[in-house]
Amino acid sequence: MSQTLPAPEPVETQQAGAEVLLRALKEQGVEVIFGYPGGAVLPIYDAIFQQNAIRHILVRHEQAAVHAAEGYARSTGRVGCVLVTSGPGATNAVTGLLDALMDSIPLVCLTGQVPTHLIGNDAFQEADTTGITRPATKHNYLVKRPEDLARVVHEAFYVARSGRPGPVVIDLPKDILIGKAPYMSAPTVEHRSYRPQTEPDRVAIARAVALLKSAKRPVIYSGGGVINAGPAAGAAMTALVRKMGYPITNTLMGLGAYPSNDPQFLGMLGMHGTYEANLVMHGCDVMLNIGARFDDRVTGRLNAFSPNSKKIHIDIDPSSINKNVPVDIAIVGDAGRAIAMLAEAWDADPTEVDRPAIAAWWKQIAEWRGIDCLKFTQTQVAGGIIKPQYAIQRLYDITRELGRETFITTEVGQHQMWAAQYFRFDKPNHWMTSGGLGTMGYGLPAAMGVQIAHPDALVIDIAGEASILMNIQEMSTLCQYRLPVKVFILNNQYMGMVRQWQELLHGGRYSESYTDALPDFVKLADAFGGTGLRATSVDQLDDVIREMIASPRAVIADICVDQKENCFPMIPSGAPHNQMILGTEHGDNIADAGAAKLTDAGMALV
Partner 1 sequence: MMSPVIRSATISVLVENEAGVLARVVGLFSGRGYNIDSLTVAPVDDNGHRSRINIVTSGTDMVIEQIKAQLDRLVPVYKVADLTLGGPHIAREMALIKVVGIGESRAEALRLADAFRARVVDATTESFVFEMTGSSDKLDAFTALMRPLGLAEVSRTGVAALARGTTII
Strand partners, 130: none
Q: What distance in Å separates the CA atoms of residue 355 and residue 486, rounded to the nearest whole number?
A: 47
| In the complex, least distance from residue 463 CB atom to partner 1, rounded to whole angstroms | 32
Answer for which of 142, 237, 290, 292 binds partner 1 (CB under 8 A) is 142
Please give the DSSP secondary-structure letter assigned to residue 559. Answer: E
Counting contacts by CB under 8 A, is residue 193 touching partner 1? yes
Three-state SS for 301-344 is CHHHCCCCCEEEEEECCHHHCCCCCCCCEEEECCHHHHHHHHHH
Answer for which of 117, 192, 202, 375 binds partner 1 (CB under 8 A) is 192
Answer for which of 131, 370, 455, 594 binds partner 1 (CB under 8 A) is 131
Q: Which residues contact 586 (CB under 8 A, 6 or more apart)?
A: 371, 373, 375
Phi, psi of 80 (to 5 degrees): -80, 155
Q: Which residues contact 289 (CB under 8 A, 6 or more apart)?
A: 221, 222, 223, 311, 312, 313, 314, 315, 327
Confirm if 299 and 595 have CB atoms less than 8 A apart. Answer: no
| In the complex, least distance from residue 138 CB atom to partner 1, rounded to whole angstroms | 7
**Count of residues that interact with partner 1, criterion CB under 8 A:** 24
Name which of 270, 244, 90, 116 is nearest 178 in CA terms: 116
Counting contacts by CB under 8 A, is residue 1 touching partner 1? yes
Answer for which of 26, 55, 117, 134 binds partner 1 (CB under 8 A) is 134
Counting contacts by CB under 8 A, is residue 383 touching partner 1? no
Name which of 41, 276, 261, 29 is nearest 158 in CA terms: 29
Counting contacts by CB under 8 A, is residue 164 touching partner 1? yes
CA distances from 122 to 62, 382, 409 (A): 22, 63, 39
Counting contacts by CB under 8 A, is residue 135 touching partner 1? yes
Counting contacts by CB under 8 A, is residue 326 touching partner 1? yes
Answer for which of 187, 196, 230, 529 binds partner 1 (CB under 8 A) is 196
Quick one: which segment of 108-116, 138-146, 269-277, 581-589 binds partner 1 (CB under 8 A)? 138-146
Say whether 62 is catalytic.
Answer: yes
Please give the DSSP secondary-structure letter assigned to residue 530. Answer: S
| In the complex, least distance from residue 148 CB atom to partner 1, rounded to whole angstroms | 10
326 vs 455 by CB, closer to partner 1? 326
Counting contacts by CB under 8 A, is residue 188 touching partner 1? no
Quick one: which segment of 135-143, 177-185, 450-458, 558-566 binds partner 1 (CB under 8 A)? 135-143
Footprint of partner 1 on 35-94 (CB under 8 A) = none
Please give the DSSP secondary-structure letter assigned to residue 199. Answer: S
141 vs 368 by CB, closer to partner 1? 141
Footprint of partner 1 on 167-186 (CB under 8 A) = none
Out of 113, 155, 157, 174, the active site residue is: 174
266 vs 335 by CB, closer to partner 1? 335
Report the SS3 class of residue 83: strand
| In the complex, least distance from residue 282 CB atom to partner 1, rounded to whole angstroms | 20
Phi-psi region for residue 441, left (φ > 0), alpha (ψ -120 to 50) or beta?
A: left
The sign of the dihedral angle between the CA atoms of 438, 307, 201, 214 is negative
Active-site positions?
62, 124-125, 174, 497
Which residues of the chain form contacts with partner 1 (CB under 8 A)? Answer: 1, 130-131, 134-135, 138-140, 142, 144, 159, 163-164, 192-194, 196, 317-319, 321-323, 326
